[in-house]
């Protein structure tokens, strides 16, 4: 019972995402931070209030955190199929310039 709970917690916090998911998360973070930064600057300048700028910037950072950090399934839609090792010897069967590497 405890092992199952530990495995579920590990799967939840491990954060499996693929390379396309990393690219998507980076795009989301860049867009959200840019838009909220520009919005924060414009509204703070318009109101002449630094607190408005800071709070909107903080809200944008928190929103970015909530969108990017959790391992949502959208970030793992095309996982890589890694090759299984066929022996315990490193470099076995590899040829470089016609020479076997052992």
Q: Which residues of the chain have pLDDT under 50?
A: none
pLDDT value at residue 15:
74
Closest CA to 72 of 2, 33, 6, 24: 24
pLDDT value at residue 92:
61
pLDDT value at residue 49:
96
pLDDT digits (tens, 9 = 90+) for 65-88: 999 988 888 988 888 888 776 655
Buried b (16+ CB within 10 A) or exposed e, 31-65: ebbeebeeebeeebeeeeeeebbeebbeebeeebe
pLDDT value at residue 2:
77
CA–CA distance, 60 with 34 (Å, rounded to integer): 9
Q: Is 16 helix (H, G, I), strand (E, B) or coil?
A: coil
Query: pTM of the predicted model, to two decimals?
Result: 0.69
- 16, 76 contact by CB (below 8 A): yes
């Amino acid at each position: 019972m405890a092992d199952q709970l530990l495995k579920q917690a590990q799967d939840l916090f491990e954060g499996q995402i693929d390379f396309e998911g990393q690219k998507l998360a980076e795009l989301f973070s860049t867009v959200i931070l840019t838009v909220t930064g520009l919005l924060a600057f414009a509204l703070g300048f318009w109101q002449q209030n630094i607190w408005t700028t800071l709070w909107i910037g903080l809200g944008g950072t928190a929103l970015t955190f909530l969108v990017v950090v959790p391992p949502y399934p959208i970030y793992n839609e095309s996982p890589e199929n890694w090759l299984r090792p066929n022996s315990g010897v490193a470099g076995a069967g590899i040829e470089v310039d016609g020479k076997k590497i052992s």
